[in-house]
Amino acid sequence: MNRDKLIAQVKNEYAEIASSDSQQHFHQTTTDMTPEAYYENLLSQAIREINKGTFDSFVSGKEIVTAIANDKTWLPEWREPNQ
Largest CA distance in the chain: 38
pTM above 0.85, yes or no: no
Q: Give a yes or no: residue 47 inside a domain.
A: yes
Q: What average pLDDT does the chain have?
A: 84
The predicted-structure confidence for 2-29, as pLDDT tens digits, reads as follows: 999 999 999 999 888 877 755 555 554 5
| Letter string b/e over residues 3-17, b meaning 16 or more CB atoms within 10 A of that residue's CB | eeebbebbeebbeeb
Q: Give a yes or no: residue 55 inside a domain.
A: yes
The pLDDT value recorded for residue 30 is 53
CB-based contact 81:32 (threshold 8 Å) = yes
CB-based contact 26:35 (threshold 8 Å) = yes
The pLDDT value recorded for residue 72 is 93
Q: Give a yes or no: residue 81 inside a domain.
A: no
Domain count across the chain: 1
Q: Give a yes or no: residue 79 inside a domain.
A: no
Which residues constitute the domain of residue 45?
Answer: 3-74
Backbone conformation region of residue 22, classed left if phi is above 0, alpha if psi is from -120 to 50, else beta: alpha
